[in-house]
Amino acid sequence: MSKKQPPLLNVDRVSKLFTSGRTQALNDISFKAHQGEFLSIYGPSGSGKTTLLYIIAGLIRPSKGEVFIRGKSLSAIPNLPCMRRKTIGFIFQDFYLYPSFTVLENVLLPNVNQFTLAKKWVIKAETLLHQLGIHRKARQNINELSCGERQRVCIARALLNDPALILADEPTGSLDSENSINVLEILQKINEQRNTTILMVTHDTSVSKYAHRNIEIIDGKIRNP
């Protein structure tokens, strides 16, 4: 009989105290996400949503508690950037795109530290831009793009390494309703067709309806855990 697989993501009693300002951003957060789940983290501004995603991605460390990816604690993973690149795609709240680089260069950025940029990555990035409907802008600079187009560049970048987990921080936060629906349908398709686990942060109930399951955070705590 096969051994039971650990969940893709296990957030175990995570707290975060920012000593500067003495803000208790997260307080004893626990939940699990399995492969193929689409989860939304819903909560008001300042409730700790971005902090939680940064901790899950290993970009900041929790003050207490642990995050496990496929049963392995982040604190026991020797090369976190490598794990992050292979397993996690991050769609940042503020985009973090390089304005003077082209669309294609921005999508390829997660892989530039491997020195030689194999042709296969360029082809992959171009294919993703095609799927997201912005291939015609591939050679244009980011600062020539609309907000909705920039958001799709972020999604393409997050998908480059076929991550098992996508962390999407307010992916529709700066979009109009038509572009929001478009982005949410793209995420839904990624989830259904690739079985990618998606953790999407939002403060909008109409956005959280796209998820299979909602986790509500208020003042750094899960409501009705």
Ligand X SMILES: Nc1ncnc2c1ncn2[C@@H]1O[C@H](COP(=O)(O)OP(=O)(O)OP(=O)(O)O)[C@@H](O)[C@H]1O
Per CB under 5 A, residues contacting Mg ion are 50, 93
Q: Which residues contact 214 (CB under 8 A, 6 or more apart)?
A: 39, 40, 41, 42, 208
8 Å CB contact between 106 and 128: no
Site size for ligand X (CB under 6 A)? 15
The 89-128 site mask, x for binding ligand X (CB under 6 A), equals ----x-----------------------------------
d(CA 66, CA 183): 31
CB of residue 69 vs Mg ion: minimum separation in angstroms? 22
Sketch the per residue contact string, 21 through 50, with ligand X: x for CB under 6 A, - otherwise: x-x-x-----------------x-xxxxxx
CB of 2 vs ligand X, minimal distance in Å: 38
- When CB distances are held under 5 to 8 angstroms depending on the partner's kind, the choice from Mg ion, ligand X, none that residue 78 binds is none
Contact between 51 and ligand X per CB under 6 A: yes
Residue 3 one-letter amino acid: K
Give whichever of 93 and 140 is closer to Mg ion, judged by the CB atom: 93
Listing from the earlier edge strand, what are the strands of the sheet with 72-73? 23-33, 9-18, 64-69, 72-73
Smallest separation, CB 50 to Mg ion (Å): 3
Nearer to ligand X, 6 or 65 (CB): 65
Give the tokens for residue 191.
């989830």
Q: Is 18 in the site for ligand X (CB under 6 A)?
A: yes
Given Mg ion, ligand X, none, residue 47, with its beta carbon under 5 to 8 Å by kind, binds: ligand X
Helices (DSSP H) in the chain: which residue ranges? 49-56, 80-87, 103-108, 119-131, 147-159, 177-194, 205-208
- Minimum CB separation of residue 59 from ligand X in Å reads 11
**Residues 6+ positions from 35 with CB-CB distance below 8 Å:** 8, 164, 195, 197
